[in-house]
A = this chain, B = another copy of it.
Amino acid sequence: MLRGILFSLYYKSEQILYRCCSRQSIVCTQKPYGAQNNRNRLIFLHTRKMASSHGSRNSDEDTNTRQLLKDVNEMILKHHDKATDRTTPVVKFRTPDELASVIDFDVGSDPVNDEAIKRLCEATFEYSVHTDHPRFFNQQFSGVDKYALAGELVVAGVNSNAHTFEVAPIFVMAEKAVIKKALKVFGYEHGEGTFCPGGTYSSMLATNLARYHKFPDVKGKGIIGGPRLVMFASNQAHYSVVKNAALMGIGSDNCIKIACDNEGRMIVSELEKEIQKAKNEGAIPIFVVATAGTTVLGTFDPFNEIADICEKHGIWMHVDGCWGGSLMLSKKYKHICNGIERSDSLAWNPHKMISMPIQCSLLVTKHEGLMSKAHGLEVPYLFQPKKPYDVKYDVSRDLIQCGRRADAFKLWLAWKARGDEGFEKHVDKAMENAEYFLELVKKRDNFRLVTQQPKLTNISFWFIPPSLRNQKEDDEFWEKMHLVAPTIKTRMQKDGTMLVGYQPLESLVNFFRMIVINNRVTHEDIEFVLDEIERKGADL
């Protein structure tokens, strides 16, 4: 009875917050959101122990968890429906302390019952950021592909380890097929590849391949006795390039940052100068990272020119295409990546532009057979030679990881479902939305572009609030401008009307970085962004 009341209250109103303490006590607090008073506060303590509580869990477990899995699936569907409803806030922002007053995060020693678990799942959907929302422009992912989501659920349901054909036959076959497809997309006539847990990892493997390619002895002896190794990336390349240098014993100081032009593209003459300088110092250049779609400005380094330099000096060219590599899926935009096919390796995150569920990242290289040499060890306990199939399908032989999620499967399934044209349309629509946004920014006097010719769906811009319009643009002006984006961002977070990121970049003060990916985004959503910034900044 009490439980009935509790649930009808819960479903009727989003104002029911909950705290799950133990299997026998559920504390539910109905209180108005935000700053309103607590007069409606209700506390339900010690609800009756339910049939599903731990005492009878063993016998009833199948029934209960079956129900829970069904309920969670319903939540997923509901969540996605809500996320496409523009009246749903993108986020119900709560600070960590506020969240902790609503959800009991502590893992105590006693179990909580199934109803409480269900409510924790519901609360998770409720207070998580709705990254599928057509007004979520905050990050380089949004609007998950539903076929890929189905694939992700299959992977969870099968729960196997994509390290050998023996335990993951379908996943291994799907990975091989999709790697083959990716090689083709990126213009590699032959090669090999693997899925990795994220772009940082993909680029780390590439760094290791490059090092091994030049100095195979490093694998055994380490780099201690040899020459100083150096690598290069633009100063707008992803920070993981530097982290990988540090991790791999090369040292972050030996990751040389190359200056960029005003549009954020690596200046190739500077690259060559730095290569020459390193050589003069007795160091050995082993790795150049060219970026297809930088994180902040979304620019593309000049691949052909970089490839020329790398060929001339015998240096491995890696493309960090995690973000912008997806343009290769579009006949209209792939020219922006011209020269990408000349690289030795390439990292690509389908969980970014083409909306695969996180994580989905892969590395391809045209040096077939190198992964096994650079990463492999003979491990008879894992990789038995006598198997009823060709052991080349035991893919972890070529990897550093042993246990692995089957991240390839969702991309494989979604690619089957969408076809090349599906992914192409997705990319084209995102690009066209970004172009529309760009035109709007250009037209509005209160906004100013950071770069004039963005090449990807990142559009970076400043908003000039009323008090700063028509002012002399001196240091004081820019100091004040630096505070505008954070202030507006906090306001949009608290209201949940949309999410757009901001950041400084070198000498440039904080500016907004709009990212468009989600194909549900309409021109109205695009217009909303600028209107909402105007509204949120009207008193600044």
> Does A157 interact with chain B (Cβ within 8 Å)?
yes
Cβ B70 vs Cβ A77 within 8 A: yes
A259: CB under 8 A from chain B? no
> Within 8 Å of chain B (Cβ to Cβ): is A449?
no
- Asked if A370 is an interface residue, CB under 8 A from chain B, the answer is no
Of residues A107, A171, A247, A359, which shows the largest number of chain B Cβ atoms within 10 Å of its Cβ?
A107
Q: Kindly identify which residue among B69, B170, B400 contacts A103, using a CB–CB cutoff of 8 Å.
A: B170
Q: Which of B141, B381, B405, B409 contacts A359 (CB 8 A)?
A: B405
Interface residues of A in 61-91 (CB under 8 A from B): 61-62, 65-66, 68-70, 72-73, 75-77, 79-81, 84, 91
Task: Tell whether, in the assembled complex, residue A112 and residue B72 are in contact, meaning their CB atoms are under 8 Å apart.
Answer: no
Complex CA gap A94/B382 in Å reads 20
List B contacts of A9 (CB < 8 A): none
Q: Which of B103, B152, B158, B251 contacts A223 (CB 8 A)?
A: B251
B402 touches A153 (CB 8 A): no
Q: Min CB distance, A416 to chain B, in Å?
A: 5
A16 at the interface (CB under 8 A from B): no
- Measured between C-beta atoms, what is the minimum distance from A429 to chain B in Å? 10
Inter-chain contacts of A156 with B (CB < 8 A): 76, 149, 152-153, 156, 357
Please measure, in the bound complex, the distance between the C-alpha atom of A227 and the C-alpha atom of B224, giving whole angstroms.
8
A505 to chain B, nearest CB (A): 7
Q: Is the CB of A76 within 8 A of B72?
A: no
For residues 171 through 227 of chain A, which have their beta carbon under 8 Å from a beta carbon of chain B?
171, 173-174, 176-178, 180-181, 197-201, 204, 208, 218-227
- Nearest CB of chain B from residue A338's CB, rounded to whole Å: 22
Closest to A156 in B: B152
Complex: A451 Cα to B209 Cα, angstroms: 39
Instruction: State how many angstroms separate the Cβ of A447 from the closest Cβ of chain B.
Output: 20
Contacts of A84 in B (CB 8 A): 62
How far, in angstroms, from A141 to B405 measured CA to CA in the complex?
13
Say yes or no for A523: interface residue by CB 8 A criterion.
Answer: no
Chain B residues with Cβ below 8 Å from A226 are: 224
Contact residues in B for A422 (Cβ distance below 8 Å):
54, 57, 111
B388 touches A493 (CB 8 A): yes
Total count of chain A residues near the partner, CB < 8 A: 164
The answer to whether B169 touches A99 (Cβ under 8 A) is: yes
Question: Is B382 touching A120 in the complex (CB atoms < 8 A)?
Answer: no
Chain B proximity of A222: nearest CB distance (Å): 3
Q: Give 1 or 0 for each of A479-492: 1 = CB within 8 Å of chain B CB.
A: 00000001000100
Which one, A25-33, A125-133, A267-275, A466-474, is touching chain B? A125-133
Residues of B within 8 A of A77 (CB): 66, 69-70
Let me know if B403 and A349 touch, CB within 8 A.
yes
A105 at interface by CB-CB < 8 Å: yes
Report if A413 contacts B (CB, 8 A).
Answer: yes
**Distance in Å: Cβ of A450 to nearest Cβ of chain B:** 12
Q: CB distance A382 to B503 under 8 Å? A: yes
Whether B158 pairs with A218 at a CB distance below 8 angstroms is: no
Whether, in the assembled complex, A419 has its beta carbon less than 8 Å from a beta carbon of chain B, the answer is yes
Which of A151, A169, A248, A490 has its CB near the most chain B CB atoms (within 10 A)? A169
Pair B220/A253 contact, Cβ less than 8 Å: yes
Q: Is A20 an interface residue (CB 8 A)?
A: yes
Chain A residues 495 to 511 lying within 8 A of chain B, measured CB to CB, are 502-505, 510
Q: Which of B251, B386, B415 contacts A107 (CB 8 A)?
A: B415
CA distance A357 to B69 in the complex (A): 14
**Residues in chain B near residue A358, CB distance under 8 A:** 159-161, 403-405
Asked if A463 lies at the interface with its beta carbon under 8 angstroms from chain B, I say: no
Q: Complex Cα distance A108/B155, Å?
A: 22
Is A393 engaged at the interface, CB distance under 8 Å to the other chain?
Answer: yes
Question: Which B residues are CB-close (under 8 A) to A249?
Answer: 218, 222-224, 248-250
Taking the closest CB of chain B, its distance from the CB of A386, in whole angstroms, is: 5
Q: How far is the CB of A174 from chain B (nearest CB, A)?
A: 6
Q: Are A416 and B111 in contact (CB under 8 A)?
A: yes
A224 / chain B contacts, CB cutoff of 8 Å: 223-224, 226-229, 249, 251, 254
Is A47 engaged at the interface, CB distance under 8 Å to the other chain? no
**A42 near B: Cβ within 8 Å?**
no
Contacts of A166 on B, CB cut-off 8 Å? 129, 138, 493
The winner among A75, A180, A224, A251 for most chain B CB atoms within 10 A is A224
Q: Tell me the nearest residue of chain B to A132, going by C-beta.
A: B159
Question: Is A368 part of the binding interface, using a Cβ–Cβ cutoff of 8 Å?
Answer: no
* Shortest Cβ distance from residue A280 to the other chain B in the assembled complex, whole angstroms: 17
A72 and B107 form a contact (CB under 8 A): no
Select the stretch in A303-311, A372-380, A430-438, A529-537 that faces chain B: A372-380
Docked-complex contact A359 and B403, CB < 8 angstroms? yes
Complex partner residue of A222 from B62, B153, B157, B253, CB under 8 angstroms: B253
User: Measured between C-beta atoms, what is the minimum distance from A146 to chain B in Å?
Assistant: 3
CB-CB nearest in chain B for A178 = B107
Q: List 7 A-B contacts (CB under 8 A).
A: A62-B84, A106-B177, A110-B420, A166-B493, A218-B246, A247-B400, A359-B405
